[in-house]
Amino acid sequence: MDDRLMAALGADGDAVARAHAIYTPTMLSLYDLVVHGLSNHLAWGCPTRRLVELYRDNLSTHHLEAGIGTGFFLDRVQGPKFERLVLLDINQNCLDRAARRLARFAPAQRKANLLAPMSPDLERFDSVGLTYVLHCLPGRMSEKLASVDHLKPLMKQQAVLFGATILGRGIAPNGAARMLLDLYNRKGVFNNREDDFESLSEGLRRRFGKVEIERQGCVALFRAQGTAV
């Protein structure tokens, strides 16, 4: 990302790098167990099944998954038969692992930083997934939501953006959640100390005509569609 853009976003390149440097092949081999097997239930108070339902309800046949991680949800959900699936991530380890796991859907890969404008050479999609990415991105919510502004030109008019993010404010974390929030924010893997439900909700409503958002434990789950009036 160029320096002017970084300055405008209030985020530096180091912070962007720290947010995804943890995703080495070894860490990715543990990710599903640690995050979707244990932390969702024991720390974040949002059962993984609820996130799988979000995918089941919102996936389309022309789907872009932004911040793919290990490809857990697209692998797990009994979704539609993809006609076009694109996996987008800043981290090549994530793209490689997820592409192998999801090979049956013949996905395309796109290495990109969500905090920078996307090159407009992709055909538009009917659905875009953005799960557990916003809490990683540096900056205030208004700055993180630049990622949504960068995804919007890739969405058809009635396309759905859906996903989830772990909040750092206005929640009632248990001991495990407090410990993980402290650890991950200290390491720069999470940058969600100031993330609250209201700023996410307001930011989505400013960008979309129809927004559904709910909180489950420490997690905000959202679905947004259409043009804001």
Within residues 98-117, the interface with ligand SAM by CB under 6 A covers: 113-115
133 interacts with ligand SAM by CB under 6 A: yes
The SS3 of residue 128 is strand
Q: Are strands 219-227 and 62-66 parallel, antiparallel or unpaired?
A: unpaired
The window from 2-10, 76-84, 131-139, 205-213 that contacts ligand SAM (CB under 6 A) reads 131-139
89 interacts with ligand SAM by CB under 6 A: yes
68 interacts with ligand SAM by CB under 6 A: yes
| H or E, element range at 206 | helix 197-207
Shortest CB 99 distance to ligand SAM, Å: 12
195 interacts with ligand SAM by CB under 6 A: no
- Do residues 195 and 213 touch, judged by C-beta distance below 8 A? no
131 interacts with ligand SAM by CB under 6 A: yes
b/e per residue 68-106 (b: at least 16 CB within 10 A): bbbbbbbebbebeebebbbbbbbbebbbebbbebbeebe
Query: What are the residues binding ligand SAM (CB under 6 A)?
Result: 16, 19-20, 23, 67-69, 72, 89-91, 94, 113-115, 131-133, 136-137
